[in-house]
């Protein structure tokens, strides 16, 4: 695939779906070089880099299927999210492998009805909902499902994060099902006191609300003793957290869980012992 496809300025309604499909049979040593879909985002990114709080949101996307995609970047490559979803509805990501230096899948504000299935992550920072509560006004995240996922040596496994700021925004309905962890530093984490590099953190609490989050059939190994961490907002505690059949161990250490301002319940066997 060669060449460059430009997306003209404006808003469009597609009459038919656009399908990017490549098929090869009976060949050895195939290389795909070049090619791009240019959405002409120069103006948007210039606004963001200038630190403006009045940048346009960009386009919204609905009804997208991503299947059989492999993303490969160095583990130390900065800010290299594999797939970023934001302001989008009905997106499905199936049968993917993502090796990168940042989030395998990054899920931003305004994401609704997202399904991620049969995904392998590592290296990288795992699957993250957020950053949330970064902007004063932002849409929430609703009904995200991650199923049949494998994490290998990632910094995080399943993470929800929001800035420690009195902003709005929310996560309602996140379902993490049938997940395997191999030597993951932070397998399960909700962090509502996030601040980049933890430098000059303001003494504030997150205004984002996290509710109805399910972790079901999660097993594997943690690279650290704290395998489950729920560090939620003091003003908007996490609610409706459900741990069901979770088994996480750590080599030569007893695994622990940590909870702050988190409300929920356990079903079946949960290791480490739940702090909910």
Quick: pLDDT tens for 56-69.
665 667 788 888 88
Which CATH class, in words, describes the domain spanning 56-271?
Answer: mainly beta
DSSP string, 27-83: -SS------EEE---HHHHHHHHTT-S-------EEEEEEES-EEE--TT-TT--SE
pLDDT score of 3: 47
Whether the pLDDT of residue 1 is over 50: the answer is no
Judged by average pLDDT, the poorest of 35-44, 111-120, 177-186, 246-255 is 35-44
Going by C-alpha positions, the residue among 134, 129, 128, 197 that lies closest to residue 164 is 134
| Residue that has been written with the tokens 């099902």 in this structure | 177
Judged by average pLDDT, the poorest of 16-20, 31-35, 102-106, 260-264 is 31-35
Reduced to 3 states, what is the DSSP secondary structure of residue 125? coil
Whether the pLDDT of residue 163 is over 90: the answer is no
Rounded to the nearest 5 percent, the helix, strand and coil shares of the chain are: 5, 50, 45
Going by the DSSP 8-state scheme, the letter that residue 251 receives in this structure is T
| Mean pLDDT, range 11-40, rounded to an integer | 58
Quick: pLDDT tens for 188-226.
999 998 876 666 556 677 778 999 999 999 999 999 999
CA–CA gap between residue 257 and residue 226 (Å, rounded) = 5
For the entire predicted model, the pTM comes to 0.82
Angle at 48 between CA 54 and CA 193, to 5 degrees: 90
Instruction: Give 208's Cβ-side CA count (13 Å radius).
Output: 35
In terms of DSSP bridges, do strands 262-271 and 105-107 run parallel, antiparallel, or are they unpaired? unpaired
The residue extents of the domains of the chain are: 56-271
Phi and psi, residue 223, nearest 5°: -85, -10
| Residue that has been written with the tokens 């097993």 in this structure | 219
Tokens of 199: 């430098």
DSSP string, 103-115: -SEEE-TT-EEEE
Instruction: Give 219's Cβ-side CA count (13 Å radius).
Output: 5
Whether the pLDDT of residue 45 is over 90: the answer is no
């Amino acid at each position: 695939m060669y060449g460059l496809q430009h997306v003209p300025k404006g808003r469009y309604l597609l009459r038919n779906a656009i399908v990017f499909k490549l098929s090869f049979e009976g060949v050895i040593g195939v290389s795909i070089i070049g090619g791009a879909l240019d959405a002409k985002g120069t103006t948007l990114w210039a606004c963001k880099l200038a630190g403006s709080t009045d940048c346009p949101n960009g386009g919204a996307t609905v009804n997208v299927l991503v299947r059989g995609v492999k993303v490969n970047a160095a583990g130390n490559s900065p800010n290299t999210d594999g797939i970023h979803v934001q302001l989008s509805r009905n997106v499905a990501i199936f049968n993917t492998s993502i090796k990168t230096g940042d989030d395998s899948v990054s899920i931003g504000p305004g994401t609704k009805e997202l399904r991620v299935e049969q995904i392998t992550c590592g290296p990288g920072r795992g699957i993250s909902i957020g950053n949330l509560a970064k902007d004063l006004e932002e849409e929430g995240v609703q009904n995200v499902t991650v199923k049949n996922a494998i994490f290998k040596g990632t910094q995080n496994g399943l993470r929800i994060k929001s800035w420690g700021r009195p902003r709005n925004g929310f996560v309602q309905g996140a379902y993490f099902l049938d997940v395997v962890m191999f030597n993951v530093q932070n397998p399960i984490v909700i962090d509502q006191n996030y601040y980049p590099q933890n430098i000059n953190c303001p003494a504030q609490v997150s205004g984002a609300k996290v509710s109805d989050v399910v972790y079901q059939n999660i097993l594997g190994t943690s690279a650290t003793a704290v395998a489950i961490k729920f560090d939620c907002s003091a003003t908007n505690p996490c609610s409706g957290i459900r741990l069901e059949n979770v088994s996480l161990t750590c080599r030569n250490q007893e695994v622990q869980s940590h909870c702050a301002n988190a409300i929920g319940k356990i079903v079946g066997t949960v290791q480490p012992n739940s702090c909910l």
